[in-house]
């Protein structure tokens, strides 16, 4: 488990800077942060978690709990990052860079603990396997749609440029 946490954390950290380093490559924009919105920070935790899912699939793919475990681990990231970030902003009235970075890593750690917990449960009913599969593909579909066409919602709005998606990148 600690290998997954370390690798996902490193890849997620690199994904924060990859769009900039790539010279604003459109393909890289699908997987890397293109601005400083909350969504883009969720995305840079999801990207390596989804990629790690290829490895997880090889190791645990025959486990009937694989799809529910993977889906719930991804939902952990999707829920934790905005929940903790906006709660702390409400309490402290501003965000702190160090805390934001720690939050990123905490969400990855929690996500992997959720995965390990559910993967080691006794086999779940087929309906949970089915729902987990549908949820996983739904998460991936939303990931792509929200990346290509971000909704006009505060979670997707860059706090610096006040724009959305690639248009929100401050160096354009």
The model's pTM is 0.92
Tokens of 127: 């309906």
Q: Domain range for residue 18?
A: 2-168
pLDDT tens-place string over residues 108-128: 999 999 999 999 999 999 999
Domain count, the chain: 1
Q: Average pLDDT of 37-58?
A: 95
pLDDT tens-place string over residues 22-37: 999 989 999 999 999 9
Q: Average pLDDT of 76-94?
A: 94
To which residue do tokens 């694989």 refer? 66
CA distances from 58 to 22, 38, 53, 65, 164 (A): 30, 31, 8, 14, 36
């Amino acid at each position: 488990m600690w290998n997954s946490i370390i690798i996902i954390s490193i890849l997620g950290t690199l994904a924060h800077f990859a769009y900039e380093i790539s010279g604003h490559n459109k393909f890289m924009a699908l997987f890397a942060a293109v601005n400083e919105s909350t969504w883009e920070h969720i995305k840079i935790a999801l990207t390596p978690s989804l990629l790690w899912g290829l490895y997880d699939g090889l190791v645990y793919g025959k486990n009937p709990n694989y799809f529910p475990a993977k889906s719930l681990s991804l939902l952990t990231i999707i829920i934790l990052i905005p929940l903790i970030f906006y709660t702390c902003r409400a309490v402290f009235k501003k965000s702190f860079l160090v805390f934001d970075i720690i939050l990123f890593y905490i969400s990855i750690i929690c996500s992997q603990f959720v995965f390990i917990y559910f993967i080691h449960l006794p086999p779940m009913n087929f309906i949970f396997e089915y729902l987990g599969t549908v949820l996983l593909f739904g998460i991936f579909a939303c990931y792509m749609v929200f990346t290509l066409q971000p909704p006009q919602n505060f979670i997707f709005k860059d706090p610096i440029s006040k724009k959305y998606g690639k248009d929100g990148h401050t160096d354009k």
